[in-house]
Structure 1
Amino acid sequence: MIRLLPLLYLMFHTTTIFSQHMITDSLQSVLKRSTGSAERKAIAMAELAYATVEQNLDSAIKTGNRAIQYSKQKSTENGRAFSYATMTYLFVRNNQVQQATTYQDSAMMAATRASDQKIIAFVQMRKGWLDMIKGDHEKAIASLLKAKNLLEKLNDPKSSSYKSMLNRYIANIYAYGKDNHKQKEYARESLLMAKKSGFPDDLQMAYTTIGQNFLSSFERDTSNRALLDSSLHYNQMALQLYKQAKERILLPSNTATTALNTANVYFMYYPASYKANVHQYINIALQIARKTNDREVIASCYGMLSEYSLKENNYEEAEKYLKTGLSEIEGDASTGNITRSRLMQAMANVAEKSGNSVKALDYYKKYMDYSRKVFDTQKLTITQQLEEQYHAKKKEDEITRLTEWSMVNRKLNWLYFVLGTSIIIALSLLFISYRYKLKASLLNQTLLQERKKWLEKELLTGTLQIQEKNEILQSLRQKSLSPTDTVTTKQIDRIIDQNLRMDKKLETHQRSIASIHPDFFSALQNRANNSLTPLDIKYCSYILIGLDNKEIAVRLNIEPKSIRMARYRIKKKLGLDKDENLFQVITSFDRP
C-alpha cells in the first residue's frame, strides 16, 4: 500500500503574512523604490524568494542568495540574519538539508549581531524547525521555546503569525511523541495566534493541526467516534477556508496535504460506502498538487485509489491507478526514488494478488532497483550528516573552548582586581590592628601595674594583720598557761599552733606571689576576654601559689562552698570544660 505522507510533510510548509499576488507585487514595489532603508530592501528580497518558492524553486533560491549578498554589501545584520534563515527553508524544500544547515549556522551567527528582536526570534524559530526536520526534537523544542519567549511581548500581525507557526511546530513534535495533552495545548495556542494574525495561511494550518490532534486522540481511543468527527470537522474548515480565500492563500500545497489527509481518514476508519468521500478529497488534492507540482501528494493519491480497487479485487484498475501515478511523476527529475520505489512495491503487490507472478517479479526487480538507489542516497545522506555533525561538533567545541578561555580571562581579571583590593584592605586592617594592639598592650601594662600594686598592698595589709594577730595569739597563750581549764587550754593552744603554721606558709606564699610572671594577669584576662573581676584575680593568685579551697576560705574569711562556686565561675569564664584542671590551666599562664 502507498502510505500517506507523514505529518512531517506539513512541517515542510510554513505560512507567510501576505497573499501570493499581494506579496509579490508589494515586494517588487519595495525593491524598485529609490528610497527606503537597505535593511528593508534586503528583507523584502528574502520575502520575495520565500513567496515564489512554489512557482519556481530554483529562481527563489537565486533571489534568496541575492538578498544575502545585498545584506553583506550594505552591512545590515538584521537583513543578513533574515535572509540566511529564509534560505534555510528554501534549501530544505530543495532536499539540500546539509546546505540548509550551513546557512542556518550563518543565520545564527548574524543573529548575534542583529538588533531586531522579531528577526532574532525568526532565526531561532527556523533553527527549531530545521532540528525538527532532522528529527532532533529535544533541540527543536528548546529553540522554538526560545523564539516564543522573544516574541512574548510583541503583538503585531507578523509576530502573531510567527507565534502561530512555532506553536504548530511544537504541537507536531508532541504528536510524534504521543503526548496528546501537550499537542492539544500548543495546537489551540496556534489557532489563537492565527486568529490574531488575520492571515489565511496561518488559520488554515492551525485548523489542520487541531484536526490532527483530534485524530491522534481517536487513534488512542477508537471507541470515541466523536474525536474522529471533530478531526474531520477541522480539516473541512481548513478546506472551506481555501475555497473562500483561494487568491489569498500563499502555499496551496498545504491545502492539498489537508485534503489528502481527510481522504485518508475516510479510507482508514469508514466503511466502503464512503468511497465517494474519499474520491472527493483525493480529487481536490490532485487538482492542487498538479498546479503546485507536488509529486509526493500525487503518488499518495493514486496509491489510495489503488488500495480501494484492491479491496474490491479489481486488480486491473488497481494497477492502472498506480501506473497513472508513476507516469505523472516519472518525467520529474526532482521526484525521489523513494516515491517510485513505493509505487513499484505496490504494483508488485497487486500483480502478486492477481496471480501474475511474472509481472510481480518484474515489478519487484524494479522496486529493488529503486530501493538500491534510495539506499545509496540515504547512505550518502547519512555520511554527509555524520560529516556535518563532526564539523558542527568541532566548531561547537572550538566555540566552547574560546568561550571558556574568555570566561577564564574575565575571572582572572576580576581575581587580580579582588586580590589587589584585598591586599590593600589587609594592609589597612593590619595597620589598624597594630595600633589597636599597641593601645591594648599599653592599657594592659597599666592595668597590670595597678593590679600588682593592689596585690602588694593586700600582701602588706595581710602581713600587718598577721603580725597583730600573732601578738594577740601570744598574749592568749600566756594567759592560757594558768591551769584553770585544761581542755580549753589545749584547744586554744592547738588553734594558736595551727595559725602559726599557716603564717609560716603565708610567708612562702608571699614570696611566690612576688615571683609571679608580670604577663600572668594579662594572659589570664585575654583568655577570659577581660571578664575576670579583681576578686577573681585574687582567687587565681591564691590557686597559683598552691592554696586549697579551705586555706583560701580561711584567708578570705568565707565558707569553702563559696570558694568552690568561685572556681566554677572562673572555669566558665576561661572557657574550660567541667573535667579540666583549673590549677594546671592557671599555672600554664605563669610562664615567660
Structure 2
Amino acid sequence: MKYLVFKNISLLIWIVIGCYTAKAQSLLDSTALDNLGEKDKPALLTQLAERSRINGDYKGAIAKAQQSADLALRFKNLTEAAKAYTAMVNVYSTTKQFALSKKISDTTLILAQQSRQPIALAYAYYAQALFYNAIDNTEQITKYCQLALKSLGQKYDPYLSAKIYYQLYMLNSRWDDVKNVNKYAQAATENALKTNDYNLLSNCYIALSVAADYNYTGTKNEMLRDSIIYYLNKVQSLYQQYPKYVARKTYGISCINSADYYLRYFSDTDREAKANAIRYASMANEVMKGAINGEEIRASSLGILSEYAKRDKNFVMAEGYLQEAYNVLKAKKVPYYYTLINVVSSLSNFYEQRGNYEKALEFQKKATEYNSKLFDEKRTLNAQKLEVQYEAEKKNNEVQLLKQSEKYAQQQKYLYIGIAIASLLGLIFMFRSYHFRLRYSLQREKQLHLEKQDAELQMKLEKEEQARLKVEQLLLESQQQQLQKEVMANQLQLEHKKEMLFQIKEKLSDNHQLNINKIWNEELLLDNDFEEAKFQIQQVHPEFFALLNQRAQQKLTSLDLKLCAYLHLKMDTKKIAQLMHIEAKSVRMSRYRVKQKLGLDKEEDLNLFLQKMA
C-alpha cells in the first residue's frame, strides 16, 4: 500500500503540477470583458483561457485562447497572439494532441519571429518546450528553455521566467539531478515571488518541498526533512489566505504530499504524525470532490487512509477506502491506468491476505486487463509521439536543408559577386591604364598649348611694351602741348598787363588825380577772373586753342583767342570789355570778326559754337 501512495505522489509532483499554473489575474470574472474595448480584450481572454485550463475545461480554454489570438492578430498585436497560442499549446500538450501542439507551437514561433519582440520570442520558445515535453524530447526541452531565458534577458518577465525555470526543474527531477532540482526550484520560486500569481507560487513551494525531499534522502538531516513540510504548509497558508487565487488541485496536491510526508518519515507509533497524515489525506479527498480531473488525488488520499486503517487492523474500513478509490478512478471516462493498476493490485493483495482468493483473482485479472490497456495506451501514445517527432525532425531537417541550400546559394552569390568584383577591378585597371595614357597625351598636348601660350604671351608683352612707349611718347607730346598752352595763357596775361600799364601811363599824363588804389583793386579782381579762366581752359579744355586754330579759315590773333576764351567761359560783353580794356562796342565788333574768321554763317551763334567745340 505504501508503494501505491508514493507512486501516485511522484506522478502528481513531476507530471501534473506543471500543467496547472496561471496568473492570479486570470481569476477575474469573464464579465469584465464587457467593460473592455476590443483592443484590450486579448490579454484578459488569454488569462481566462489559462483559468479554464487549470480547472480542466480544455474545450473552453481552447475557445478563449483562439478568440484572444484572433483579436490580437486583428490589431496586429503579435506579442499577445503569441501568448494566446502558447496557452493553446499547453492545452494540446496536456491532452496529448501532439500534432496540434506541434502545429500551434510552430505558428507561435513564426509570429514571434515576425514581431522581433523579446517577450513574444520567449513565449514562442516556451511553447516549443511544452511541445517537446509532451513527446519526452529532453534535449529540445533544454534547448528551448535556454533560448526563452536568453530572450527574457533583453526584457524581463518574472511570470514567464518562473514557468520556464519550473519546466527545467521538472526535467531534472526525471533524472534525479539533485543539484539542478534545487537550482531550478529556487529560481522558479524567486521569480514567482515577484508576481501576484499565488497559484504559480504555490507550485514553486511544492517544487522546493520535492527538492528538500531529495536533500533529506541524500543526507538524512532532520532539518532538511522538516523543510519538506515547511514548504507544503506555505502552500496551504496561501490557499487559506487567497482561496480564489490558488487552484483546488494545487492545494489538494500539497495536502496529499503532506500526508505522504507523515506516512513515509514517521513511525507507526507516532500518533501525532498519524493524526496529521489522516487529516491532510481527508482534506485532499474533500477538496477534490466534484473537481474536474481530481480523481487521481482523491484515489491517492483514499490509499493513504486505507493504509492507516490497515495499520489499525480496521480491515473493513481499509477495504472501503480501496473500493471507493477504485470506483472514483473507474468512473473517469479515460482512467489514470497507473493509479488504477496500483489500486486494483492493492485490492488483490488485500483480499489475498484476507484469504478471499476469488476476489483476489478477480482484481488480479483486472490489474492484468488494465496493464494491457496501459500498454496499448502507451504504445498508441508512443506511436503518436514517434510520428510527431518524425514529422518534427523531418521538418527540422527540411529547414536545415533549406538553410544549407540558402547558405550554398549565399556562398554562390558571394562567388559571383567576387567574380564580378574581379572583373570590375580588371575593367577599372584597363580603364585606368587607358586613362593614364589619355592623361599623358592630354598633358603633352597641354604642355604644347602652354608653350604656344607662352610664345603668344611674349609677343603680347612686346606689343604692350611698344604700346607703352607709344603712350609715353603721346604723354610727352601732351605735356609739350600743355606747356605751349600755358605759354599762350601767360602771354595773354602779359599782354593784358602791358596794355593795362600803357593805359595807366596815358591816364597819368592826362589826369594827375588818378585813383591808383581803385585801379589796383579792379586789376586784382580781373587777375583772379583771368587766373580762373586760364585754369579752366588749361585743365578742362586743354585742346581748346588748338581746335580753334584748326577750324579758323584765317589766322586768329592772340586777342581773337582771348575773346574766344572769354566767350567760352560765358562772360558777358561788359566784363570782357573790362578785361580787354576796350569799349563794349569794340567787343561786339571783335565777335563779328572772329565769327568771320571761323567761317560761321550769320544765323550761327558764336557762343553756342564755342560751347559745342569744347
- Per the shorter chain, which TM-score range? 0.5 to 0.7
Partner of residue 4 from structure 1, selected from 3, 8, 21: 8
| Paired residues of 2:236 and 2:254 also in contact (CA < 8 A) | yes
Shift of 1:22: 2.1
Partner of residue 177 from structure 1, selected from 171, 175, 178: 175
Match of 1:308 in 2: 308
| Paired residues of 2:348 and 2:364 also in contact (CA < 8 A) | yes
Report 1:35-434 matches (<5 A): 35-37=37-39, 40-53=40-53, 54=55, 56-70=57-71, 77-155=78-156, 159-221=157-219, 223-249=220-246, 251-272=247-268, 273=270, 274-293=273-292, 294-425=294-425
Give structure 2 stretches of 5+ with no counterpart.
Answer: 437-614
**1:181-210 Cα shifts (integer Å, max 9, x gaps):** 222222222222122123212322222221
Shift of 1:282: 1.1
Match of 1:572 in 2: none
Report 1:575-590 matches (<5 A): none
Give structure 1 stretches of 5+ with no counterpart.
Answer: 437-592
Write the letter of the residue equivalent to 1:57: Y
In structure 2, how many angstroms separate the alpha carbons of the residues matched to 1:375 and 1:198? 42
- After superposition, the Cα gap between the structure-2 partners of 1:390 and 1:174, relative to the gap in structure 1 and judged at 3 Å, is closer
| Paired residues of 1:207 and 1:235 also in contact (CA < 8 A) | yes
Q: TM-score, normalised by structure 2?
A: 0.64
Shift of 1:16: 2.5
- After superposition, the Cα gap between the structure-2 partners of 1:432 and 1:73, relative to the gap in structure 1 and judged at 3 Å, is closer
| Paired residues of 2:135 and 2:389 also in contact (CA < 8 A) | no
Shift of 1:347: 0.7
Shift of 1:149: 1.4
- After superposition, the Cα gap between the structure-2 partners of 1:90 and 1:207, relative to the gap in structure 1 and judged at 3 Å, is same
Shift of 1:121: 0.8
Shift of 1:179: 2.4
- After superposition, the Cα gap between the structure-2 partners of 1:175 and 1:374, relative to the gap in structure 1 and judged at 3 Å, is closer
In structure 2, how many angstroms separate the alpha carbons of the residues matched to 1:8 and 1:299? 17
- After superposition, the Cα gap between the structure-2 partners of 1:147 and 1:15, relative to the gap in structure 1 and judged at 3 Å, is same
Write the letter of the residue equivalent to 2:232: N
**Range that drifts further, 310-319 or 170-179:** 310-319
In structure 1, how many angstroms separate the alpha carbons of the residues matched to 2:47 and 2:425? 61
In structure 2, how many angstroms separate the alpha carbons of the residues matched to 1:315 and 1:323? 12
Write the letter of the residue equivalent to 2:108: A
Match of 1:545 in 2: none
| Paired residues of 1:315 and 1:351 also in contact (CA < 8 A) | no
- After superposition, the Cα gap between the structure-2 partners of 1:113 and 1:101, relative to the gap in structure 1 and judged at 3 Å, is same
| Paired residues of 2:94 and 2:134 also in contact (CA < 8 A) | no
Write the letter of the residue equivalent to 2:258: T
- After superposition, the Cα gap between the structure-2 partners of 1:197 and 1:75, relative to the gap in structure 1 and judged at 3 Å, is closer
**Identical counterparts, % of pairs:** 20
| Paired residues of 1:20 and 1:247 also in contact (CA < 8 A) | no
| Paired residues of 1:310 and 1:350 also in contact (CA < 8 A) | no
Shift of 1:73: 5.9
In structure 1, how many angstroms separate the alpha carbons of the residues matched to 2:197 and 2:45? 20
Write the letter of the residue equivalent to 2:239: Y
Shift of 1:419: 2.2
| Paired residues of 1:10 and 1:257 also in contact (CA < 8 A) | no
**1:332-371 Cα shifts (integer Å, max 9, x gaps):** 3143344333321111111112222111001111121222
Secondary structure of 1:154's aligned partner: coil
Secondary structure of 1:12's aligned partner: helix
Shift of 1:71: 5.2
Match of 2:576 in 1: none
Shift of 1:72: 5.8
- After superposition, the Cα gap between the structure-2 partners of 1:354 and 1:56, relative to the gap in structure 1 and judged at 3 Å, is same
| Paired residues of 2:18 and 2:166 also in contact (CA < 8 A) | no
| Paired residues of 2:118 and 2:155 also in contact (CA < 8 A) | no
| Paired residues of 1:299 and 1:329 also in contact (CA < 8 A) | yes
- After superposition, the Cα gap between the structure-2 partners of 1:64 and 1:372, relative to the gap in structure 1 and judged at 3 Å, is same
In structure 2, how many angstroms separate the alpha carbons of the residues matched to 1:308 and 1:396? 53
In structure 1, how many angstroms separate the alpha carbons of the residues matched to 2:257 and 2:195? 25
Secondary structure of 1:248's aligned partner: coil
In structure 1, how many angstroms separate the alpha carbons of the residues matched to 2:342 and 2:144? 34
Shift of 1:43: 4.1
In structure 2, how many angstroms separate the alpha carbons of the residues matched to 1:19 and 1:85? 17
In structure 1, how many angstroms separate the alpha carbons of the residues matched to 2:110 and 2:231? 40
| Paired residues of 2:309 and 2:315 also in contact (CA < 8 A) | yes
Write the letter of the residue equivalent to 2:204: A
In structure 2, how many angstroms separate the alpha carbons of the residues matched to 1:343 and 1:99? 33
Shift of 1:227: 0.9
Secondary structure of 1:399's aligned partner: helix
Shift of 1:321: 0.6
Match of 2:441 in 1: none
| Paired residues of 1:15 and 1:202 also in contact (CA < 8 A) | yes
In structure 2, how many angstroms separate the alpha carbons of the residues matched to 1:129 and 1:11? 13
| Paired residues of 2:61 and 2:88 also in contact (CA < 8 A) | no
| Paired residues of 1:217 and 1:227 also in contact (CA < 8 A) | yes
**Range that drifts further, 3-12 or 261-270:** 3-12
Shift of 1:243: 0.8
Quote the RMSD (CA, aligned, Å). Answer: 2.7
Secondary structure of 1:196's aligned partner: coil
| Paired residues of 2:27 and 2:48 also in contact (CA < 8 A) | no
In structure 2, how many angstroms separate the alpha carbons of the residues matched to 1:370 and 1:82? 38
Shift of 1:79: 4.1
Write the letter of the residue equivalent to 2:23: I
Write the letter of the residue equivalent to 2:286: Q
Write the letter of the residue equivalent to 1:212: V
- After superposition, the Cα gap between the structure-2 partners of 1:310 and 1:92, relative to the gap in structure 1 and judged at 3 Å, is farther
**1:311-343 Cα shifts (integer Å, max 9, x gaps):** 444433222111111223333314334433332
In structure 1, how many angstroms separate the alpha carbons of the residues matched to 2:94 and 2:147? 24
**1:266-289 Cα shifts (integer Å, max 9, x gaps):** 111111221111112112222222
Write the letter of the residue equivalent to 1:9: I
Match of 2:503 in 1: none
Report 1:531-546 matches (<5 A): none
In structure 2, how many angstroms separate the alpha carbons of the residues matched to 1:347 and 1:402? 58
Shift of 1:310: 3.4
Write the letter of the residue equivalent to 2:119: K
- After superposition, the Cα gap between the structure-2 partners of 1:416 and 1:374, relative to the gap in structure 1 and judged at 3 Å, is same
- After superposition, the Cα gap between the structure-2 partners of 1:115 and 1:414, relative to the gap in structure 1 and judged at 3 Å, is same
In structure 1, how many angstroms separate the alpha carbons of the residues matched to 2:97 and 2:298? 22
Number of aligned residue pairs? 425
**1:422-472 Cα shifts (integer Å, max 9, x gaps):** 333356669999999xxxxxxxxxxxxxxxxxxxxxxxxxxxxxxxxxxxx
Shift of 1:255: 1.7
| Paired residues of 2:108 and 2:127 also in contact (CA < 8 A) | no
Secondary structure of 2:104's aligned partner: helix
**1:461-484 Cα shifts (integer Å, max 9, x gaps):** xxxxxxxxxxxxxxxxxxxxxxxx
**Range that drifts further, 278-287 or 95-104:** 95-104
Match of 1:16 in 2: 22
Match of 2:531 in 1: none
In structure 1, how many angstroms separate the alpha carbons of the residues matched to 2:361 and 2:297? 27
Shift of 1:10: 4.1
| Paired residues of 2:14 and 2:173 also in contact (CA < 8 A) | no
Secondary structure of 2:349's aligned partner: helix
Write the letter of the residue equivalent to 1:227: L
